[in-house]
Amino acid sequence: MVAIHDLYRAAGKPSIRRISDAIRDDHHQRDAISHETISKILNGRIVGKWSKVECLVRGLVRQAVAPLDEDAEVRRCHGLWLAASDVGAPGAALPRTPPSETRRAGQPVAAPELAQPAASPSDQMSGGTFPPRNPEFVGRTAALEILDRTPVTTSPVAVVGRGGVGKTQLAIEHVYRHLDDYDLVWWVPAEHPASTRAYLVALGEHLRLPDRTGVDQKIRAVLDVLEDGRQRWLLVYDNATSVDIVRPYMPSRGGRIIVTSRKAEWGESAPAVVSLTGFERADSLSFVRAGAADITEAEAEALATRVDDLPLALRHVVAMHTATGTPISEYLRLFDRHLDELLTQGASIPDRASALISTRATFEALSASPGEAAAVATQLLALFGFLGPEPVSQALLRSGRDGNVSAPLGRALREQASIELALRELSRFGLAAVNWERRTVQVHRLVQSWVREAMDERLRREGRVNVHEILTAPRPGNPDAVHSWALRSLIAPQVIPADLVGRFAPASHAARETALDQARYLFAIGDYGSSRELAQLMRSTWSRPPSSGGLGEDHEHTLKACRHLSNALRMLGDYRDCRELNEQVLTRLLESPRYGEKHDLTIAVAFSVGFDLRLAGDFKTAHERDVENLRRARSYFGDRHRRTLTARNNVAASLRMLGDYAAALEIDRALVDDWQGVDPGFGQPVLWTLGSLAQDQYGLGHYAEALATIDDKMLPVARKTLGERHRHVLLARRTRASCLRKLRRLVEALTVVRGAYDDARDQLGPDHEHTLALAMSLALTLCSSGQRAGVDEAAHLAVEAASRYRIQFGPHHPLVLAAEVNHAAILRAQGRAGWARRMDEATHNGLCAVLGDRHPYAICAANNLAVALAADGRPEMALPFALNAFELSCEVSGAQHPNTQVIAGNLALARDVGEDRELQARAGHALAHAVSFSKRSQWTEVDIEPPPM
């Protein structure tokens, strides 16, 4: 199963359906394999028949990001299958690995087949949780005792010290000594927030948590699981740069946390702080003599003294001595010479001197070695100076083999054996840690620092160029496409270290394009925070004038960076800054002779501006913009282009928000067929438009038709292709529940809407627009039951939803006011008539101010204010509001609309108790000539369930 999972990760962890479909469509495969069988094999529940396993192996190899030898993998897996099948008959359940055996292998208990050290969340970290044990570890007895005796608390234990003293190695050793104490150990590189988030998302995958839309939601789910106390766990946050950066990603209880950091600021945030310095002298001598027995005690003593007992420097010197036979006396001479040079150059950080000098001496020894492998190794080290500090996959290096990489490294990238020889040289000289099992390479941060600061300028420049070539050559494809994500996950940690943005030196067009694609990739996987950070960096760097090293504000890359930034801001709830940025960019595009109104980027940004205006609650201006965008799209793309169809979708959305459901319905009906012509097979645009069509029908009061659209046309396909928790499906479930409630199928409606609300809260988070809409729909359904417990729960939900709406959109947004209209009705059902009346007065005035009194929301508010006045003991004051609501509802929604019918009943009650004869006469005339309705003895509210914006 380990081999199968290796191939599964190498293929980018495709969905079970994608694997099965690919095998089925490959006519060269000897068999087919069902979704269920693939799932059982991957989960280790069965061995499976060899014909099935072979199909799976070949299918995964053909989808691998890096090229693999298919026949060799088949032979390897066949041998492993034969060994596994000895346990029992083919297809039998696999025995679970005993915990003791798992731990002896250095793997976590929870999933032995996945527990390997890793370099990247998508490729190596899906199950790997900590690096391999250091066989050269010595000493640190006192530090280990502090870690051992510190009790488990909600605060982390901090291991602090300067670079190269062995903080990470101490944490690794502690992990391996205490594997029996934990059910789960997870290693989190914490130098950058993006890597911290990525590795916690990988932990969620390891725990097989349900998928969520955004990275923040995925991390919250992971923290919730860890905090529930069901597992004994240990998290190690390695090389954390700041307490404030890491703290939000730590569980508050339930397990143990260790942090390694070069910063001393952890003292106030940790119950125990282990301050590491260099080795004890006896440990230095043991380390040196263990690594090179021919070194005399006197030489070891002199060496330890000269490098201040720094473990990294000792390792370099021992490796160099072992590899080349260089006498220790010669190293000491080089050390003194290089130290004088550092002092002459004004070295600003004396405590780095030992590491920098040992790196330089070791590199010089490597450079002097004969053969091409050493030459390739020197170029590799120069390259690694501009990569991130975490392990780097060899697959990433080889994916750039078609780039214009300088010789001989360029040739070596095309030959696996040549690269391996060069990596062995780097490992032999102690300049890199190579994990041959996982095919990863890691270079210490201090070695990277020497490369960037002190390596020969020609080699350094060549290394930076080679990194750019390797990262830009693969061209994974559309960053929105799932199949591109496996390779992009390897590129993501390297974008900033490799300076693809060009902060410190000009970046090529290809480098900037790669950076832009990575910002979109981060957005696509739901890591909006990292997408914003990268986009902001690109914008600030590129917007500078060319004379200052930038591209200028009008450069296409600068404008694209702004677009990525605005998208991330929107998803993070920063609607105002998003809207202002898009407005600025659109103005610049329209005024620029390089772009103009028909440029593709102009049209794309204009679409975003329309959406931003809807989010801001300015529905009228949004509609005007959307109509203008449709005109542009038609003139540039024609009637049947995707952009034009999307523009029509946007116009329909704005019409719905304006309450013109009939006009929106006309557009959406035609769009369903038009989208089918462009995207056959009921793709997402078709399903979204079907959901919109049902919302139009609901807005028109055609509840049975809307329910049929959802049940017969939209949901069956959407559930199958998108899943139950996709936002399109969640919104369709809400529409379905609303229709069921209006049709008085309350029990069924409550089941549907509660399930959808729970899924949305879990998937999208409590503050998302769709979650809040479902919360209010659930509250209305509970209130409709008439039971006290249901009404009380509805009131609680309404308070929370209205409050979150207000925080997200501001107090005067139509969605906020609509939520408060519903909230007032629920308060009235609780018997709090006075409070409800005051809220109805405020919401009626507010909706009339922002939408006008003819908008359906304002009409509903007028009706509910009439109900409030009657419930507050002043029915005579209700008549003008009821009459106004009825007359406008007849004009706007039609006399047969269910809301108009409800308002008519209230108007009849107001007419019967009012004292204003003129108004009573008008009311009687209106009722007689406009509609026939059923008289009631009870005043009735009209609720508002806005469609999504």
Q: How confident is the model at residue 311 (pLDDT cuts 50, 70, 90)?
A: confident
Residue 75 has pLDDT above 80, yes or no: no
Backbone angles phi, psi at 352, to 5 degrees: -95, -5
Residue 625 has pLDDT above 70, yes or no: yes
What is the DSSP track for 610-678? HHHHHHTT-HHHHHHHHHHHHHHHHHHH-TTSHHHHHHHHHHHHHHHHHT-HHHHHHHHHHHHHHHHHH
Six-digit token string for 179: 């594997």
Model pLDDT, residue 924: 81
Query: What angle is formed at CA 763 by the lines to CA 727 and CA 515, rounded to 5 degrees?
Result: 80
Model pLDDT, residue 352: 64
Is residue 21 within 8 Å of residue 15, measured between CB atoms? no
Model pLDDT, residue 573: 82
Six-digit token string for 759: 């899924």
Percent of the chain with pLDDT over 70: 90
Dihedral sign for Cα 177, 181, 184, 189, please. Answer: negative
Structure letter (DSSP) for residue 706: H
| Mean pLDDT taken over the chain | 85
Q: How far is CA 538 from CA 478, 545, 552, 564, 644, in A?
A: 20, 13, 12, 10, 30
pTM recorded for the entire structure:
0.76
Count other Cβ atoms within 10 Å, centred on residue 786: 10
Higher pLDDT among residues 607 and 340, named by residue: 607
The top-scoring range by mean pLDDT among 69-73, 527-531, 731-735 is 731-735
Is residue 366 within 8 Å of residue 377, measured between CB atoms? yes
Model pLDDT, residue 583: 94
Q: How confident is the model at residue 129 (pLDDT cuts 50, 70, 90)?
A: low
Least confident interval from 152-166, 437-451, 718-732:
152-166
Least confident interval from 23-27, 112-116, 324-328, 832-836:
112-116
Higher pLDDT among residues 535 and 726, named by residue: 535
Average pLDDT for residues 63-92, to the nearest whole number?
62
Residue type, 305: T
Residue 106 has pLDDT above 60, yes or no: no
Q: How confident is the model at residue 546 (pLDDT cuts 50, 70, 90)?
A: very high
Q: How far apart are CA 580 and CA 563, in angstroms?
A: 11
Least confident interval from 172-176, 273-277, 591-595:
273-277
219 burial (CB, 10 Å; 0-12 / 13-18 / 19+) is: buried
Percent of the chain with pLDDT over 90: 40
Type and span of the H or E element at 251: none
Average pLDDT for residues 54-60, to the nearest whole number?
85
Is residue 836 within 8 Å of residue 827, measured between CB atoms? yes
| 3-state SS assignment for residue 506 | coil
Residue 735 has pLDDT above 90, yes or no: yes
Is residue 463 within 8 Å of residue 385, measured between CB atoms? yes
Average pLDDT for residues 194-212, to the nearest whole number?
87
Average pLDDT for residues 753-759, to the nearest whole number?
94
Least confident interval from 301-310, 500-509, 651-660, 806-815:
301-310
Q: How confident is the model at residue 765 (pLDDT cuts 50, 70, 90)?
A: confident
Model pLDDT, residue 30: 57
The two beta strands, 256-261 and 233-238, are parallel
Residue 849 has pLDDT above 70, yes or no: yes
Q: How far apart are CA 220 and CA 242, in angstroms?
A: 20
Q: How confident is the model at residue 67 (pLDDT cuts 50, 70, 90)?
A: low
Is residue 782 within 8 Å of residue 792, measured between CB atoms? no
Average pLDDT for residues 450-473, to the nearest whole number?
90
Model pLDDT, residue 694: 97
Residue type, 685: P
Average pLDDT for residues 324-341, to the nearest whole number?
77
CA atoms within 13 A on the CB side of 77: 29
The 8 Å CB, 24+ separation contacts for 753-756 are 753/777, 753/778, 753/781, 754/778, 756/730
Six-digit token string for 15: 């969905």
Higher pLDDT among residues 894 and 95, named by residue: 894
Higher pLDDT among residues 319 and 750, named by residue: 750
Q: How far is CA 938 from CA 615, 931, 935, in A?
A: 37, 19, 9
Q: How confident is the model at residue 817 (pLDDT cuts 50, 70, 90)?
A: very high
Is residue 769 within 8 Å of residue 727, measured between CB atoms? no
- Closest by CA to 4, choosing from 35, 52, 570, is 52
The two beta strands, 184-189 and 157-160, are unpaired
Model pLDDT, residue 110: 28
Average pLDDT for residues 892-913, to the nearest whole number?
89
Model pLDDT, residue 741: 96
Residue 348 has pLDDT above 60, yes or no: no
Is residue 844 within 8 Å of residue 863, measured between CB atoms? no
Count other Cβ atoms within 10 Å, centred on residue 411: 15
Residue 535 has pLDDT above 80, yes or no: yes
Backbone angles phi, psi at 574, to 5 degrees: -90, 70
Q: How far apart are CA 29 and CA 383, in angstroms?
A: 41
Q: How confident is the model at residue 104 (pLDDT cuts 50, 70, 90)?
A: very low
Q: How far is CA 894 from the centre of its chain?
A: 45
- Maximum CA pair distance of the chain? 116
Residue 538 has pLDDT above 90, yes or no: yes
Is residue 230 within 8 Å of residue 255, measured between CB atoms? no
Structure letter (DSSP) for residue 482: G
Residue 780 has pLDDT above 60, yes or no: yes
Residue 111 has pLDDT above 60, yes or no: no
pLDDT tens-digit map of 412-432: 998 888 899 999 989 888 888
789 burial (CB, 10 Å; 0-12 / 13-18 / 19+) is: exposed
Residue labelled with tokens 């960053």? 479
- Closest by CA to 777, choosing from 904, 948, 570, is 948
Structure letter (DSSP) for residue 89: S
The top-scoring range by mean pLDDT among 280-294, 357-371, 815-829 is 815-829
Average pLDDT for residues 455-470, to the nearest whole number?
91
Least confident interval from 487-501, 648-662, 934-948:
934-948
Backbone angles phi, psi at 806, to 5 degrees: -65, -40
Average pLDDT for residues 218-229, to the nearest whole number?
88
Q: How far apart are CA 365 and CA 318, in angstroms?
A: 12
Residue 746: partners with Cβ closer than 8 Å, 6 or more residues away:
740, 781, 784, 785
Is residue 706 within 8 Å of residue 694, measured between CB atoms? yes
Residue labelled with tokens 């090179």? 292
Average pLDDT for residues 746-763, to the nearest whole number?
93
CA atoms within 13 A on the CB side of 878: 32
- Closest by CA to 195, choosing from 119, 265, 138, is 119
Q: How far apart are CA 371 and CA 347, in angstroms?
A: 34
Q: How far apart are CA 532 and CA 564, in angstroms?
A: 7
Q: How far apart are CA 643 and CA 244, in angstroms?
A: 43
Model pLDDT, residue 269: 67
Model pLDDT, residue 97: 31
Least confident interval from 67-76, 507-516, 680-689, 823-832:
67-76
Residue 100 has pLDDT above 80, yes or no: no
Average pLDDT for residues 244-248, to the nearest whole number?
84
